[in-house]
Amino acid sequence: YAFGTHGVRLKVDEETGKVEILDYVAAHDVGRAINPLLLDGQVHGGVMMGVGYALTEQVVLEKGRNMNPDFRDYKILTAKDTFPLTPVVIETIDPDGPYGAKGIGEPGCVPTAPAIANAIYDAVGVRITDLPITPERVLAEIKKKKGVNSCGIDPLTEKEQPC
């Protein structure tokens, strides 16, 4: 089993709902770090993939048809979306892993959404439970907290629905 935890420092624009990650720490028990450079790349790649899932990536279906089948409409993170990331490697030899190692590719994806959602809660006091955590969803929750009437987000247009 692979164990890890992530911490995020971010800011939320309360006028637009935009989330900007300022700093990210990803700590993982990797067993034995056989190739530290490759390990670092796996952590960076896994975190970026997880942040994409958390903040931008969403398959939109309408009557079983994919409404965003290409990268023009399905929003993935790019190099311009990177942020400072500090991997923390914890080595506890795994007797069942090859040479004492554990997997690290996928574990970088797992804690990202909860870490980001909790950091948003710490920043502005709203709890987001649906992914992706789009600016529209964040703004709708901020307005709801302030007592502004909102009936949620239309999943196709990602715009706030009037009541």
* CATH number, residue 95: 3.30.365.10
Q: Is residue 30 part of a domain?
A: yes
Q: Give me the mean pLDDT over the 15-38 stretch.
A: 96
pLDDT at 56 over 80: yes
Whether 7 is covered by a domain: the verdict is: yes
Judged against a pLDDT cut of 90, whether residue 158 lies above it is answered with: no
Residue 33's domain spans which residues?
3-125
Tell me if 152 is assigned to some domain: no
Q: How would residue 154 be classed by pLDDT, with cut points 50, 70 and 90? A: low
Q: Please check the confidence at residue 35 and state whether its pLDDT lies above 80.
A: yes
CB 29 within 8 A of CB 102: yes
With respect to residue 155, please indicate whether it lies within any of the assigned structural domains. Answer: no
Tell me the mean pLDDT in the region 27-50.
95
98 within some domain: yes
In a domain, 101, yes or no: yes
Placement of tokens 């903040």 in the chain: 55
Q: How many domains does the chain have?
A: 1
How far apart are alpha carbons 48 and 78 in whole angstroms?
9
The set of catalytic residues is: 106
The phi, psi pair for 87, rounded to 5°, reads: -80, 135
On the question of pLDDT at 150 being above 70, the answer is no
CA–CA separation, 23 and 120 (whole Å)? 13
146 found inside a domain: no
- Rounded to the nearest integer, the mean pLDDT of the chain is 91
Q: Is 90 part of any domain?
A: yes
Closest residue by Cα to residue 133 from 55, 37, 36: 55
